[in-house]
């Protein structure tokens, strides 16, 4: 099956972030980057579908500056066959512009299944997948926790609050992937070596007009230090009073 997986390069979310001098982005100095977790799950799902079928081709598509080639090669080292970089100086804050560039690349690719992570770990907008589906006129299903393909149709499971739903839909389709669906494999060392020889096309990203931009980025306010109001049962009335009057949580 011909599958496309749209992935994003994101900073290690355990980093200590600083705001860049521009005030509209994070300071990238010293940050480590990797494929966004949900996108790695999506790559794994694609590889498993094709492995089960015994044939197929997985193409990973990533929008961004040349640094994203490393992220694409990571997916290639996991086993994807082809990579495409949609070159842009930066990833815009406008999900529709991203979706437009991805849809332009996807529309003539002949993909039977298009996967996204349910959202990127850094921006968490979750818009690109659904918007790309709309632009392509394809059925779309979000946050799948299970996905099975049978011929030209597929079924997926979505986790709800206290329940789950099973959905059925025709292919081609766009599916965004939730966690728990598959554990991404370790890129094997042979896979890492092989990835260097796999095709990686670089094309300009057709973003169109970008209408949303970041005006200001700020870190959460520092939490005030904790306070010990007393010890033992004697402290309880004062603690309850403060939780009611100051913290306002009771």
Partner 1 sequence: MTTDFFDIDSALSEEERAVRDSVRRFVDERVLPIIGQHYIDGHFPLELVPELGKLGVFGANLPEEYGCAGLNNVAYGLIMQELERGDSGVRSFASVQGALAMYPIYAFGSEEQKRRYLPKMAAGEIIGCFGLTEPDYGSNPSGMITMARRQADGTWILNGAKMWITNGSTAQIAVVWAKTDGDPEDKSIRGFIVPRGTRGFTSKDQKGKLSLRASDTSELVFQDVHLPADALLPESGGLKSPLMCLTQARYGIAWGAVGAAMACYEEALSYAKTRVMFDKPIAGFQIQQVRLAEMLTEIVKGQLVSLHLGRLKDAGRYTPQQVSLAKRNNVSMATDIAREARRLLGANGILAEYAAMRHMANLESVYTYEGTHDVHSLILGQAVTGINAFK
Q: Which is nearer to partner 1, 47 or 113 (CB)?
A: 47
User: Closest CB to partner 1 among 77 and 95?
Assistant: 77
Min CB(79)–partner 1 separation in Å: 12
Please report how close the Cβ of residue 200 comes to partner 1 at its closest, in angstroms: 12
Minimum CB separation from partner 1 for residue 77, in Å? 6
Residues forming contacts to partner 1 in the complex (CB under 8 A) are 30, 32, 34, 70, 73-74, 77, 186-193, 195-196
- φ, ψ for residue 174 (rounded to 5)? -110, 130
- CB nearer to partner 1: give 35 or 102: 35
Closest approach of Cβ 240 to partner 1, in Å? 27
The pair of three-digit structure tokens given for residue 109, joined into one six-digit string: 């690719």
CB 109 to partner 1: min, Å: 26
Crossing angle for the helix pair 37-53 and 68-78, nearest 10 degrees? 30
Nearest to 48 by CA among 148, 191, 142: 148
Please compute, for residue 140, the number of CA atoms within 13 A of its CA located in the half-sphere on the CB side: 18
Q: Which is nearer to partner 1, 90 or 189 (CB)?
A: 189
- 82-87 vs 57-64, strand pairing mode: parallel
CB 69, CB 77: distance < 8 Å: no
Which is closer to partner 1, CB of 78 or CB of 175? 78
What is the rounded CA–CA span in Å between residue 78 and residue 62? Answer: 15
């Amino acid at each position: 099956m011909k599958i496309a997986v749209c992935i994003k390069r994101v900073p290690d979310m355990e980093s200590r972030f600083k705001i860049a001098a521009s005030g509209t982005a994070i300071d990238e100095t010293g940050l480590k980057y990797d494929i966004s977790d949900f996108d790695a799950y999506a790559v794994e799902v694609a590889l498993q579908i094709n492995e089960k079928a015994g044939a197929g081709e997985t193409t990973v598509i990533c929008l961004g500056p040349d640094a994203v080639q490393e992220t694409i090669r990571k997916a290639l080292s996991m086993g994807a066959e082809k990579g495409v970089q949609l070159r842009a100086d930066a990833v815009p804050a406008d999900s529709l512009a991203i979706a437009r560039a991805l849809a332009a690349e996807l529309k003539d690719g002949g993909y039977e299944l298009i996967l996204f992570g349910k959202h990127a770990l850094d921006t968490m907008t979750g818009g690109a997948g659904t918007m790309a589906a709309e632009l392509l006129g394809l059925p779309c299903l979000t946050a799948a926790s299970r996905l099975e393909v049978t011929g030209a149709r597929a079924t997926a499971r979505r986790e709800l609050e206290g329940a789950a739903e099973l959905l059925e839909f025709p292919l081609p389709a766009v599916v965004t992937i939730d966690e728990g669906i598959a554990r991404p494999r370790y890129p094997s060392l042979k896979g890492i070596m092989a990835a260097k020889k796999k095709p990686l096309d670089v094309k300009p990203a057709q973003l169109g007009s970008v209408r949303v931009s970041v005006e200001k980025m700020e870190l959460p306010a520092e939490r005030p230090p904790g306070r010990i109001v007393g010890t033992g049962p004697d402290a309880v009335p004062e603690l309850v009073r403060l939780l009611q009057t100051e913290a306002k949580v009771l």
